[in-house]
């Protein structure tokens, strides 16, 4: 299984290289336009970031578990943005060490 750091780096690279900001990424991956990122939409984000097929469901589940504060099994805009901001801080902090 790829490490957490590898997956986070891939997601960061996808978002920073392909979208103006995290909000634009959310709009892109919110395929049904309901303002929420569901597990299948999160798996698509992971797919496009290069996470292997075998791991996408597991990783998406863990991400939802860690970011879904209202326990609806979906990421609303605040949850998604908080997750992306935390991702950027974690990766940037890791690069400075």
- pLDDT, one tens digit per residue, over 67-94 is 999 999 999 999 999 999 998 888 777 5
Question: So where are the chain's domains?
Answer: 4-96
Q: How far is 33 from 89, CA to CA, in rounded Å? A: 28
Whether residue 3 has pLDDT greater than 70: yes
Confidence band, pLDDT 50/70/90 cuts, at residue 96: very low
pTM of the full structure = 0.87
The predicted structure's pLDDT at residue 2: 86
CATH of 4-96, one of 3.90.850.10, 1.10.238.10, 1.10.10.60, 3.20.20.70: 1.10.238.10
Per-residue tokens: 47: 């797919």
In percent, the amount of the chain with pLDDT more than 90 equals: 81
Query: Which pLDDT value is given to residue 90?
Result: 80
Note whether 73 and 39 are within 8 A (CB). yes
């Amino acid at each position: 299984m790829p490490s957490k750091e590898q997956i986070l780096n891939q997601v960061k690279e996808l978002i920073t290289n392909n979208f103006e900001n995290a909000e634009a990424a959310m709009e892109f991956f919110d395929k049904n336009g309901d303002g929420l990122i569901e597990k299948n939409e999160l798996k698509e984000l992971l797919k496009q970031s290069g996470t292997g097929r075998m791991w996408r469901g597991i990783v998406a589940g863990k991400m939802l578990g860690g970011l879904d504060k209202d326990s609806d099994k979906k990421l609303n805009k605040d949850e998604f943005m908080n997750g992306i901001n935390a991702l950027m801080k974690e990766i940037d902090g890791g690069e400075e060490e």
